[in-house]
Amino acid sequence: MPGQAAELVFDKATKRYEGREGDAVQDLSLTVPAGEICVLVGPSGGGKTTALKMVNRLIAMSSGDIRIDGTSINDQDVVQLRRGIGYVIQQVGLFPHMTIEANIGTVPRLYGRPRSWIRTRSAELLELVGLDQSYAKRYPSQLSGGERQRVGLARAIAGNPPIMLMDEPFGAIDPIVRERLQDAFLDLQNEVRKTVVFVTHDIDEAIKLGDRIAILRTGGRLVQYDTPRAVLESPADDFVAEFVGRDRALKALALRTISELELGPAADGPRVAKTSTVRDALSLAIEKRAHVLAVTDGETVVGSVTRDQLTS
């Protein structure tokens, strides 16, 4: 089975549909470094999903190239290519007639792994995605939407693919569970370090999850490919500025944690953990009408920040 993360390169990748005007994806060129999460974001009709599906050749490219660690996807056997790419979709698509364990074992089974190996691997993955071992013998219909997508995630990484494609995986899940799944996904990514292409139309999700964000606009044109902070602080044009929202300055605050600031001496005030975001700290300061916050590390106060520091 494949192993570590790979570099993914889109090189003028283009998709045109017969009899339809304009391109679905136009000359898309970007590089996703190994082990990073690249979020494709944009309005519908922006070609995000098309771009994603070109990678595992569920949609055939019209022109251009996509390379994984330097090898063109068109030079590989399509079945082998797909086995090396984890694929997670919004509707999850678990196999209803297979137990959770068998679902997770999909790709290892294709690689001819023995049953005992699959059982161990599936137990390991259930734990990794935060599900109890008792789920192994259940069927998908017995799980909630959020639990199903956790299994979908486990199934996608079971074959240890260097690349993961995620097509609005949390789009159909209610906001509270979605946030938990996003956190679970980030924890997972910290552990497995895959190269991930993640499609969403939710800019907040893009900011939260992406190491880099690619903003596509109608006609499948890439307008900006940057870190979340750069996208928020210096949008490439009015389209991006509008897309990220008028509160982009506030959103940017969510990207920094208190520990990145220069702390003042320990002081009295409402307490905030040094791991919390600047945005959350500011919200607390406003709520408590406080000008100084006490910064804590566990139970101990390790310093302070002022409201001015938070907003500058």
Partner 1 sequence: MTVAGGPVIPNFGTGSSCEVNNGWFCTDWVREHWGDTLQPALFQHIELVAIAVGIGFVVAVALALAGFRYRLLDPPIGVFSDFLYTIPSLALFQILIPFTGISVTTVEIALVSYTLLILYRNMSVGLRAVPAEVVEAARGAGYTRMQTFVHVEAPLALPAILTGLRVATVSTVSIATIAPFVIAKGLGQPIYDALGQDVFKTEIFTAGGMVIALALVLDGLLVAVQRMLTPWVRV
Tell me how far, at minimum, the Cβ of 155 lies from partner 1, in Å: 7
CB count within 10 Å of CB 264 equals: 14
C-beta closer to partner 1: residue 76 or 257: 76
For 257, which DSSP code?
B
Tell me how far, at minimum, the Cβ of 20 lies from partner 1, in Å: 21
C-beta closer to partner 1: residue 181 or 282: 181
Tell me how far, at minimum, the Cβ of 259 lies from partner 1, in Å: 40
Residue 86, SS3 per DSSP: strand
Q: Which of 243, 246, 262, 237 is nearest to 312 (CA)?
A: 262
Tell me how far, at minimum, the Cβ of 200 lies from partner 1, in Å: 18
d(CA 170, CA 79): 26
Phi, psi of 4 (to 5 degrees): -60, 170
d(CA 205, CA 86): 20
C-beta closer to partner 1: residue 167 or 226: 167
d(CA 149, CA 59): 23
d(CA 186, CA 69): 23
Tell me how far, at minimum, the Cβ of 47 lies from partner 1, in Å: 18
C-beta closer to partner 1: residue 61 or 253: 61
C-beta closer to partner 1: residue 5 or 166: 166
Residue type, 178: R
Tell me how far, at minimum, the Cβ of 150 lies from partner 1, in Å: 15
* Cα dihedral sign, 61-63-67-73: positive
Q: Which of 202, 218, 139, 134 is nearest to 166 (CA)?
A: 202
Residue 137, SS3 per DSSP: helix
d(CA 122, CA 95): 15
C-beta closer to partner 1: residue 89 or 305: 89
C-beta closer to partner 1: residue 82 or 150: 82
> Contact residues for partner 1 (CB under 8 A)?
56, 58, 79-85, 87, 89, 91-98, 106-107, 110, 138-139, 141-142, 152, 155, 165
Residue type, 272: V
With beta carbons less than 8 A apart as the criterion, state whether 190 and 14 touch: no
Tell me how far, at minimum, the Cβ of 110 lies from partner 1, in Å: 6
Q: Which of 44, 3, 15, 12 is nearest to 31 (CA)?
A: 12
C-beta closer to partner 1: residue 48 or 83: 83
C-beta closer to partner 1: residue 47 or 105: 105
Residue type, 16: R
Tell me how far, at minimum, the Cβ of 135 lies from partner 1, in Å: 13
Tell me how far, at minimum, the Cβ of 99 lies from partner 1, in Å: 8
Q: Which two tokens stand for residue 286?
A: 């406003």
